[in-house]
Amino acid sequence: MSTFNPTLSRRQMLIAGAATSAAAFLASCGNSPESGTAKKPSTLGLSDWWGGQFDNYFPTMEKETGIKIAHQVYSYAPEKIFTQLASGTAPDLFLIDAYWNGNLFPHEQLYVPFDERLKERKIDMSKWNVDQAKESGFEGKISSLSLYTAQDFIVMVNKGMAEESGIAEDMPVWGSPTFDTWKWDTFVDWLKAGTKVGRNGVVEQYGLGSVPTNASFFVTLLYDLGGTLYDDDWNYGESKSMLDSEPAIGAAQQIADLFVKHKVAVPTGTETSVRGGTYLAKRCVATLQLSTPSAYPEENNFPMSYFHLPYANRKVHCFGGGSLCVNAQSKFQEAALDWAITFTTNTEVRTKFLQFSSVPSYDPLPIVDASPEGTPKTIALINLSRIKGMSPLPANAENVTVYPRWFGRYASTATQNAIESALDQIILGKATAKDALTEAKQRVDKEIDDGRRAAGE
C-alpha cells in the first residue's frame, strides 16, 4: 500500500522471462503425480512485504485449508521477487503491487492464471469490487487475485484545528448533507481559510501538509480533468505517452498552484525525515493520504475527520492494489491457487482483513457494514462510496471515472520518474508546466520505443 516506484530494467525482465521459461520447462519434465500439482502439501511458501499483517490470518487459513505457511518477508521492492522467479527459488505464492503489473502480467511463464480454478470452485465473480480480469489480468486472463479495494486519496483533517479556524462546520464528511459534493475551487478556498499568516508575513499555520508530489497523485488529477497517461492505459499496449496533453498540463499546474499561487501547502522539502510530520506536529489543518487509517492513527495523536479528495471536473476511483500470484514453477499449483482463492473470499479472513489491513476486494460492503463503528469503518465507507455496485450510496457512484493505478508495460519507472521530476521543476519555478511535461513526454516516449523494440515489436 505504499507508493514506492519500482525499478526493473528491460534487461532484468528479459533475463527473468528467459530463465523462468527454462526452469519451468525442466521442472515440468521432472514432475510426477506424487510430486506435482496433484499432491496436497502440508506447507506452502509465501513471499510478501507485509510481514506481521499476514501473520494475523495464518491460523484461520490453516484451519480452513489444512496448510501451513512458510512465510518469507522482503522489502517493498520488486527486484527480489523477480530475481527469485528467474533463479527458480521463488515460493509458491507471492504478493505484488499494482505498480508492478506491467512487469509481470505480460510474462505468463512466470505465474499461473486463476481462471479455470475459479470456475471449478464456483466463485461468484460478480462479488469482486471490480472485474478481476480488468484489474488483475492480461489479455482476458486473471493473472492474480486482488487482496484489497484500491485506495483513493482522501483528506485527513485535524478536527480541533478545523474547529478553531472556523472551517469545520460544512466539511463534506461521511454522513453529512455535503458528502462528496465539494469541487476543487471550494476545497482551495477552505484551505485558504485554514492558513494563517503572521504580521511578519511568516505562515504560522498551513491549510495543507504533505501534498503528494508524486506520479500517483498526478494521475488522479489527470483523470479528473479528462486526460489519460498513455494512448492505451488499460491493456499494457501503450505506444506513446500523453504527458503534453492539456489535461496533463492542467493537473501539474493544479498541484503547483497549491504551493506557489494559493500558498496553502507546506513547502516541499520541509518533511525530510518523517512523512506527515507537519500534520502530526499540528502545523497544518489537513493532509492528503490514501484511504487507510493506518497512515496517521488517531490513537496518541488527535481526533480527525475525513472526506474524499474534492474534484475539478469529475469524480474518480482507481483500480489496482496488492494481489496474490501463484508461481508457475510451484510443485503445488492447484493447492496454491486454492489457498489464494480461500484467502481472498473467506468471510472470517475478510473480517479480520478489514481490521488489520484494508477493505477486502471480495464482497466488501457486508464486511464493512458489520464492522464496529470507528475510523476504519468510516474510511472504508468513504472509499467504497464511489464504486458502482459496491457503494453504500449508489447515487454517489454514478458518473465516476475509473482509472488504472499501474503505469503501463514499457516505461513504468521512467514515466513515474519523469512526472515527479517535472513536478519538482514546476513547483520550484524552473520550468513552465508545458515545457516540463513536453520534456517528460520525450523521455517517456523514447523509453516506450526502446521497450517495444526490446520485446520484438
**pLDDT tens by residue, 107-147:** 999 999 999 999 999 999 999 999 999 999 999 999 999 99
Distances (CA, A) of 238 to 13, 124, 147, 210, 215: 17, 32, 26, 31, 17
State mean pLDDT over 264-286.
84
Domain ranges (residues) in the chain? 10-148+320-371, 153-318+406-454
List the helix and strand counts (H, then E) for the chain: 18, 14
Q: What is residue 199's predicted lDDT score, i.e. its pLDDT?
A: 87
State mean pLDDT over 311-317.
98
Q: What is residue 270's predicted lDDT score, i.e. its pLDDT?
A: 75
Count of beta carbons in the 10 Å neighbourhood of residue 268: 13
Distances (CA, A) of 163 to 157, 281, 307: 10, 17, 16
- Pairwise CA distance, residues 58 & 253, whole Å: 46
State mean pLDDT over 290-310.
91
Q: What is residue 30's predicted lDDT score, i.e. its pLDDT?
A: 33
State mean pLDDT over 36-53.
85
Evaluated on CA atoms 95, 98, 103, 106, the torsion sign reads positive
Lowest mean per-residue pLDDT among 60-69, 70-79, 235-244, 248-257: 70-79
Distances (CA, A) of 266 to 195, 250, 403: 10, 21, 28
* Max CA pair span of the chain: 80
Question: 356 falls in which pLDDT band (50, 70, 90)?
Answer: confident
Total residue length of the chain: 457
**pLDDT tens by residue, 186-211:** 999 999 999 999 988 889 999 999 88
Is residue 53 over pLDDT 60?
Answer: yes
Cell of 245: 496533453
pTM: 0.90
**pLDDT tens by residue, 395-430:** 999 999 999 999 999 999 999 999 999 999 999 999
351, 181 contact by CB (below 8 A): no
- Pairwise CA distance, residues 406 & 393, whole Å: 27
Q: What is residue 272's predicted lDDT score, i.e. its pLDDT?
A: 56
Is residue 27 over pLDDT 60?
Answer: no
259/77: higher pLDDT: 259
- Pairwise CA distance, residues 371 & 366, whole Å: 9
CA Rg value for the chain: 23
The distance from CA 428 to its chain's CA centroid, rounded to whole angstroms, is 27
Is residue 362 over pLDDT 90?
Answer: yes
Q: What is residue 10's predicted lDDT score, i.e. its pLDDT?
A: 47
Q: What is residue 80's predicted lDDT score, i.e. its pLDDT?
A: 86
Cell of 451: 521497450
Is residue 5 over pLDDT 70?
Answer: no
343, 125 contact by CB (below 8 A): no
Is residue 35 over pLDDT 80?
Answer: no
- Pairwise CA distance, residues 7 & 9, whole Å: 7
10-148+320-371 has CATH 3.40.190.10 classification: yes
Is residue 14 over pLDDT 70?
Answer: no
Is residue 33 over pLDDT 80?
Answer: no
Specify which residues 317 forms β-bridges with.
Answer: 402
Assign 3-class secondary structure to 294-356. Answer: CCCCCCCCCCEEEEECCECCCCEEEECCEEEEEECCCCCHHHHHHHHHHHHHCHHHHHHHHHH
245/16: higher pLDDT: 245
Cell of 390: 459496491
208 Cβ neighbours under 8 A, 6+ residues apart? 191, 194, 258, 264, 265, 266, 284, 285, 286, 287, 288
Distances (CA, A) of 277 to 17, 208, 369, 421: 42, 12, 32, 23
Is residue 158 over pLDDT 90?
Answer: yes
Q: What is residue 274's predicted lDDT score, i.e. its pLDDT?
A: 62
153-318+406-454 has CATH 3.40.190.10 classification: yes
